[in-house]
Structure 1
Amino acid sequence: MADRTTPGRPGASWSQARRADGLALRRAIPDRLLPVLVAAMAVLAAMALAGATGARILSARWTTGAASIVTVQVPRPDDPALVPASRPATPAGADAGTAPPALSRADAVLAALADVPGASRVHRLDKAELETLLSPWLGHDGDFALALPAVIELHLDRAGAMDADALAARLDARAPDTLVERNSLWSDRLGDLARSLQTCAILAVLIVVAVAAATIAATTRAGLGARRQAIELIHSLGATDGYIAGRFAGRTAVLAFTGGLIGSLLALPLLVLLSRLAAPFAGATAPAATVATTPGPSGWGRLLAALPLPLAVTLLSLAPAAALIGWLTTQITVRTWLRRLP
């Protein structure tokens, strides 16, 4: 047989041999059904991974944010405290026996909170902040019939760095009936909820991966059945299991990568929308990504930049992960099928 290899192209004969090996992979594994199925799996995986990433971010926000804040309410804040102010230096010419002015209950509590170990910030809410806080229940007119207590926020360096009972006893000695509220109980419950959501999202991803692998395996077995005679022929002529499995796996990996890329592009606008909705809960500013209905290359880049970095990296890894799953699944499926040949 004459050599039809074009001069100067040493790989041409091998490429022609691969095309003429009789496998006809385009007919064995069509290029329409598998990418569509993988794209659908990629969208589902992207949603599940977004849930896992969002739950992890919210859990970190809740545990490090809410748990490190102590809220103190001081009824009758302008009344004198039980502990007087420290005696200042007596001015020249003043009566040395004159008593120093008494601290108000709110000031005494503020002074005590300033000395708490691990306190990074002590803030008393002003009238405007209290009105904003109570407006959903009492309206926006700011005319309250009852005297409001002083509300003080104590920010700690880290959650759980303070004994709440000891602090409550210390403050009660200066201003009786002072209430100390720790957010750690609610933050622990919210953290448990976030971890549960994260676990459910990871399980959903595993289920999607299992379904995708099963779909690819079924498609591969159908292709093997359709080309059984051709495979048996070239296998009997000396084609190795690795060669046949590699041919099938290479085509499946390309189709799976294409489907994963399509699924990632379809999921990207929805993930940006969800990120904008979840941004206030994570303590971040909603990403301002305004693109056209059908974004161009720069529009897709702006959409991707609007996502949190972990979610963007996860989304970019979907297509390679789909290709890897397709390649591994096909390798296992084809090699197992070939071992059963007579």
Structure 2
Amino acid sequence: MASVPRLRRSRGRDPLGLRRALSDRLLPALVAAMTLLAALALAGARGAAELTARWEAGAAAAVTVQLPASAAAGGRLERALAALNALPEVAEARAMDQARMAALLRPWLGEAPAVTLPTVIELRLAGLPAEPEALTRRIAAAVPGAAVESHGVWVARLVALARSLEGVALAALLLVAGIAAAVVAVAVRAGIAARRSAIGILHDLGATDSDLAGRFAARAALLVGAGALLGTLLAAPVLAGFADLAAPLLGGAPAGRLLDLPWARLPWAELGLLPPAGALLGWLTAQVTVRRWLRRLP
């Protein structure tokens, strides 16, 4: 029985002429641009997630309860602290030190305030409440006559906004991946059209669909991976600059110089996955595109 001829993938051989059919200039450049957009989307999603965590763990859980200045003398402060610590939503309730309160009010009241400062209790919540208004009512009921100030309403809205931005960034990442797959498919179909005769001859001689699709897939994976690597390298300084601009929101200070930019805050793990993910996307897209075309051959 005659053996079925196969396309040997020896180094340097290009029986299909794919080096001319699939250009090593246009496709990598397009993929590099889309990789840059994907890196921006990844960084945006991570930044939104960090903002959400910061707001939920920091000011998001801050509530203050204000009592009259005489509350400490009459034992009311101790009863209020006990009632507040008994609430399941409260992780810790503690009275604010008068010296600290005076320091906070010094820009407005001066060194020696002429008014008597009230007693203020700081609450640290176990988590961001789903219904801030209901929690405020329960705190007010636990300490009758106290003034409750909760930042939960506006913080909850900020957290919802940050989560929405994270979702939008991930949706943009999926959109970029879809566009990249479409670009690779168009390039592969153009390569098939350019080498249609050679593909037909090799197919008639017995070359299998796996051999032909594998040739295209290997070439596409190489070009797409190279373009993704280039786009990742271009994205790194851009993302470092954006991270420097966003440093005040995350509790840092702008660097102002390239070497002092917050390189450590970049999503290096996600960025490192972009080139292999791009190569895999190119390989799969080429495989599907070529095999679908080959199925229509007689």
Q: Same fold (TM over 0.5)?
A: yes
TM-score of the aligned structures, taking structure 2 as reference length? 0.81
Residue aligned with 2:206, SS: coil
2:13 maps to amino acid? R
Please say if 1:321 is aligned against 2:290: no
- Residue 43 of structure 2 is matched in structure 1 by 50
The Cα shift of 1:264 comes to 0.9
Residue of 6, 13, 37 corresponding to 1:19? 13
Higher Cα Rg, which structure: 1
When you count helix as a share of all residues, which structure comes out higher? 2
Shifted more, 247-256 versus 113-122: the winner is 113-122
Structure 2 residues not aligned, in runs of 5+: 1-7
Query: Counterpart in 2 of 1:235?
Result: 203
Question: Are 2:95 and 2:119, in contact at CA under 8 Å, matched by a contact in 1?
Answer: no
2:187: which partner in 1?
Answer: 219
1:312 aligns with 2:268: yes
Provide the C-alpha distance between the structure 1 equivalents of 2:120 and 2:207, rounded to a whole number of angstroms. 80
CA distance, structure 2, for counterparts of residue 217 and residue 145 of structure 1: 76
Moved more, 146-155 or 23-32: 146-155
User: Is residue 35–residue 260 contact of structure 1 (8 Å, CA) maintained in 2?
Assistant: yes
Distance 1:144 1:334, change over 3 A: farther
Check if 1:128 corresponds to 2:103.
yes
Residue 136 of structure 2 is matched in structure 1 by 164
Aligned to 1:267: 235
User: Across the two proteins, how many residue pairs are aligned to each other?
Assistant: 281
Q: Distance in 2 between matches of 1:248 and 1:14?
A: 12
Alignment of structure 1 residues 1-342 onto 2, 5 Å: 15=10, 19=13, 21=15, 23-74=16-67, 77-78=68-69, 80-81=70-71, 102-103=73-74, 108-109=76-77, 112-113=80-81, 116-117=85-86, 118-120=90-92, 122=94, 124=96, 125-131=100-106, 149-160=118-129, 163-172=135-144, 176=145, 178-282=146-250, 284-285=251-252, 303=263, 306-307=264-265, 311-342=267-298
* Contact map agreement 1:42 1:318 (CA 8 A) in 2: yes
State the secondary structure of the residue aligned to 1:34: helix
Equivalent AA in structure 2 for residue 323 of structure 1: A
Identical residues among aligned pairs (%): 48
Q: Helix, strand or coil: the match of 1:19?
A: coil
* Shift of residue 146, structure 1, vs aligned partner: 7.1
What is the deviation of 1:307? 1.9
C-alpha contact 1:70 1:182 (8 A) present in aligned 2: yes
Distance 1:324 1:142, change over 3 A: farther
- C-alpha change, 1:61 and 1:246, in structure 2 (3 Å) is same
8 Å contact 1:38–1:263 — kept in the other structure?
yes
Post-superposition shift, 1:314?
1.1
| Inter-CA distance 337–142: structure 2 relative to 1 (3 Å threshold) | farther
Shift in Å at residue 170 of structure 1?
3.7
CA distance in structure 2 between the partners assigned to 1:144 and 1:270 by the alignment? 49
- 2 CA distance for matches of 1:205 and 1:290? 29
- The RMSD of aligned alpha carbons is 3.2
Q: Are the aligned partners of 1:213 and 1:329 in contact in 2 as well (CA < 8 Å)?
A: yes
Q: Secondary structure at the match of 1:71?
A: strand
CA deviation profile, 1:286-305 (whole Å, cap 9, x unmatched): 59796559xxxxx9xx93xx
Note closer, same or farther for the CA distance 1:121–1:260 as it changes in structure 2 (3 Å cut): farther
Contact 2:81–2:93 at 8 Å: present in 1 too? no
**Conservation of the 8 A alpha-carbon contact between 2:22 and 2:188:** yes
Q: CA deviation at 1:49?
A: 1.4
Q: Helix, strand or coil for the counterpart of 2:28? A: helix
The alpha-carbon distance between structure 1 residues 52 and 123, as it changes in their structure 2 partners (threshold 3 A), is farther
> In the TM superposition, what is the alpha-carbon distance from 1:67 to its structure 2 partner?
3.5
Unpaired stretches in structure 1, ≥5 consecutive residues: 1-12, 86-101, 294-298
3-state SS, counterpart of residue 120 of structure 1: strand
CA distance in structure 1 between the aligned counterparts of 2:28 and 2:111, rounded to whole angstroms: 60
Kindly provide the CA deviation profile for residues 260-311 of structure 1, in whole angstroms up to 9, marking residues without a partner as x. 11111111122223233334434x5459796559xxxxx9xx93xx125xx2
CA distance in 1, matches of 2:92, 2:14: 74
Q: Kindly indicate whether the alpha-carbon contact (under 8 Å) linking 1:113 and 1:154 is maintained by their aligned counterparts in 2.
A: no
